[in-house]
Amino acid sequence: MADLRVTLAGVEFKNPVIPASGTYGYGREYECLYPLSRLGGISVKGTTLHERGGNIPPRIAETPCGMLNSVGLQNGGAEKFIKYELPNLAAKDTRIIANIAGSTVEECAELAAMLNGTAVDMIELNISCPNVKQGGAAFGTDCTVAGAVTKAVREASDKPLMVKLSPNVTSIVDIAKSVEAGGADAVSLINTLLGMRIDIKTRRPVLHNNVGGLSGPAVFPVAVRMVWQVANAVRIPVCGMGGVSTAEDAIEIMMAGASAVQVGAAIFRDPYAPVKIIDGINEWCDQNGVKSVSEIVGTVKPY
């Protein structure tokens, strides 16, 4: 049994595997299969200040080795999260990462402040949602704005702050440096890549939003590349995600520089994916004489 504990932004996780925001709700739908205490943590469904109804369906399109989604941050709002979901999650013996998204800088700060003094272990500031008109990726594609919104949240919050980055930029390294300068304690990447599918019979996009975020194994090599670039450019830790489906994928993205890993779309194929990845990492460590999984972080030997 290897030591699977990892530390991210000063928070210790019992293992490096975290279901990604928007793919796991608040964990309720998977508890009948295995205890949530198996997980390193849960990044909960993106929470906004007020309730959001989400985008008009269809919101899902299958792609080769992946999928598009345009859910549009449907959620019950911060108050409901704090009142109904957080007490339930707090009893599950797993780290709680609150994913928050605001449509203005002030809203992001207000959301973060609402979580002060709660059971939340870490904030994941989403500046990369491709499916909303205001905020979202509009914050995450401009260095100045990304730095400013990070700074505002950092000042409003007493929690460790991770900022979730968009891959839909010219230089994710520059954005990462800006949020680091703004006071982020960690970065998580990558959010989905903007994509589109068209039904050639009807000549209509499959998604009613026309475009949506691509996830799944199709994006994994892009995620590995971006994690590697960012990990080499900033001093704060990186939480890696994007198409991670197996223990080998998790180990690969950790070698690229990720201190912990989020698992998303893989859960739709196999609801046991997070626990299979945890068990697989442990097995791999044992077979390869790795005593502590954190030893492998950033150990890729580039040419």
Partner 1 sequence: MYKQGLYPIVRKSASAKGIFDITVLCPEAADLAQPGQFAQVLAEGFFLRRPISICGIDKAKGTLRLVFEVRGKGTEQLSRLNVGDNIDLMAPLGHGFTKAEGKAVCVGGGIGVPPMLGIASEYGSDAVAITGFRNAAAVILQEDFKAAGCDTVLCTDDGSAGIHGFVTTALEEHLQKEKPGIIYACGPTPMLKAVAGLAEKYGVRCEVSLEQRMACGVGACLGCAVKINRGGKEAFLHVCKDGPVFDAKEVVFDG
Applying CB under 8 A, which residues contact partner 1? 22-25, 28-30, 32-33, 45, 53-67, 69, 71, 74, 206, 216-217, 265, 267-272
**Are 182 and 156 in contact, with CB atoms under 8 Å apart?**
no
Nearer to partner 1, 183 or 271 (CB): 271
Strands 212-215, 66-69: pairing kind: antiparallel
* Phi, psi of 266, deg, nearest 5: -55, -30
Residue 213 CA from chain centroid, whole number: 13
Based on CB atoms, which residue is closest to partner 1, 74 or 294? 74
Beta-strand (E) ranges in 193-236? 193-195, 198-199, 204-205, 212-215
* Of residues 218 and 231, the one with the C-beta less far from partner 1: 218
- Which among 258, 261, 260 has a CA at the least distance from the CA of 300? 258
How many Cβ atoms are within 10 Å of 27's Cβ, its own excluded?
A: 20
Of the candidates 99, 71, 100, which has an alpha carbon nearest to the alpha carbon of residue 213?
A: 71
Which tokens hold the place of 15? 């293992």
> Nearest distance from residue 240's CB to partner 1, in Å?
20
Cα-flanking dihedrals φ and ψ of residue 160, to 5°? -60, 140
The question of whether 239 is a catalytic residue gets the answer no
| 12 exposure class (CB count in 10 Å sphere: 0-12, 13-18, 19+) | exposed
Q: How many helices (H) and strands (E) does the chain have?
A: 10, 16
DSSP one-letter code for 56: P
Nearer Cβ to partner 1, position 123 or 267?
A: 267
For the beta carbon of residue 240, count every other beta carbon within 10 angstroms. Answer: 31
Residue 80 CA to its chain's centroid (Å): 21
Q: Report in angstroms how near the CB of residue 159 gets to partner 1 at its nearest.
A: 24
Least CB distance from residue 11 to partner 1, whole Å? 24
One of 32, 108, 129, 285 is an active-site residue; which one?
A: 129
Residue with Cβ nearer partner 1 (75 or 229): 75
C-beta closer to partner 1: residue 30 or 81: 30
Smallest separation (angstroms) from partner 1 to the CB of 146? 26
Q: Please, what is the minimum distance in Å from the beta carbon of residue 77 to partner 1?
A: 13
How far is residue 11's CA from residue 122's CA, in Å, rounded to a whole number?
8
In the complex, the smallest distance separating the C-beta of residue 171 from partner 1, rounded to whole angstroms, is 29
Tell me which residues are annotated as active site.
129
